[in-house]
Structure 1
Amino acid sequence: MAEWAKRIGALNLMVDDLAAMKRFYRDTFDLAPLDDEPDTLIYRLGDLYLALRLDRAHQPSPTDQAALAGIGVGQFALAVENVDEMAAELQKRGVTLLSGPADLAWGIRTATFADPAGYVWEISQDTD
């Protein structure tokens, strides 16, 4: 059997407002889309391609997304050096935190926030 990298190279998410997502990724992460079509935005985050695709009919509500993310479903996790500094920077950029910064029992410090489609992002650092 051929060897393969065993890592995710691309992720496609369905969203209902591409303009809001484009503003969020620009204002929060200083990212411009690699591809900007009427129904798709594509970004590169390190080795991951993130495609945001317009789909009004099947998009869960932001409330549903946040509830699912509360148990880790569909949540993005980003490792950072200092959660408190990054959380403060996000707030300066107009991002509202959903939780934290807070220490968790298993040795990490986290904070979470959501994008306009309701997908939840977690920033975390090891505390051990």
Structure 2
Amino acid sequence: MRYHHDDAKERAMAEWAKRIGALNLMVDDLAAMKRFYRDTFDLAPLDEDADTLIYQLGDLYLALRSDPAHQPSPTDQAALARIGVGQLALPVEDVDETAAELQRRGVTLLSAPADLAWGIRTATFADPAGYVWEISQDSD
């Protein structure tokens, strides 16, 4: 099939792929996650029940779900997160300042602020479920 730049249907399909409206992450301890999001990001859930916490991050809805039948063991989940599976990225103005603020809030950094070869400065930390968060800014 040939792609036609002027084909409205194909353009519409290409546009939806550039936006994520919601992200569902499986977690094993909702109470720990709720404390983490409150203490780290000053966020309260938009909605919650016994198995779900829902947050809004800009235009993204983040649902944290506890469903033991559909999630890996905590050890497997943490190992996957450390290699980038389930990694979440947040653009910030100043990685060093944000990393220092995270540490003041009791967050342990997995990687200290560093410039990467492809032109960004990053630092990483993990939430209680083992998902890795990356804060990043363009390097100058």
Same structural fold, with TM-score higher than 0.5 when normalized by the shorter chain: yes
Which structure 1 residue ranges, 5 or more long, are not aligned?
Answer: none
Distance 2:24 2:35 in 1: 18
Which structure 2 residue ranges, 5 or more long, are not aligned?
Answer: 1-8
Secondary structure, counterpart of 1:42 in structure 2: strand
Q: 1:115 is matched with which residue?
A: 127
Which is richer in helix?
Answer: 2
Which is richer in strand?
Answer: 1
Distance 1:62 1:81 in 2: 32
- The match for 2:84 among 67, 72, 78 is 72
TM-score by length of 1: 0.90
TM-score by length of 2: 0.83
CA deviations over 1:101-128 (Å, ceiling 9, x no partner): 1111111110000000000000000004
Percent identity, aligned pairs only? 84
Distance 1:75 1:104 in 2: 17
CA deviations over 1:41-98 (Å, ceiling 9, x no partner): 0000000000111123443345434443444322100100100000000000000000
Secondary structure, counterpart of 1:112 in structure 2: strand
Contact (CA 8 Å) 1:112, 1:121: kept in 2 or not? Answer: yes
What residue identity is the alignment partner of 2:51?
A: D
Residues 88, 68 of structure 1: alpha-carbon distance in 2 compared, 3 angstrom cutoff? same
Q: Give aligned pairs, total.
A: 128
Larger Rg: 2
Does structure 1 residue 51 correspond to structure 2 residue 63? yes
Distance 2:129 2:99 in 1: 20
Deviation at 1:100, TM superposition (A): 1.7
Distance 1:44 1:61 in 2: 26
CA deviations over 1:16-43 (Å, ceiling 9, x no partner): 1000000000000000001121111000
Contact (CA 8 Å) 1:61, 1:118: kept in 2 or not? Answer: no
Distance 2:135 2:119 in 1: 14
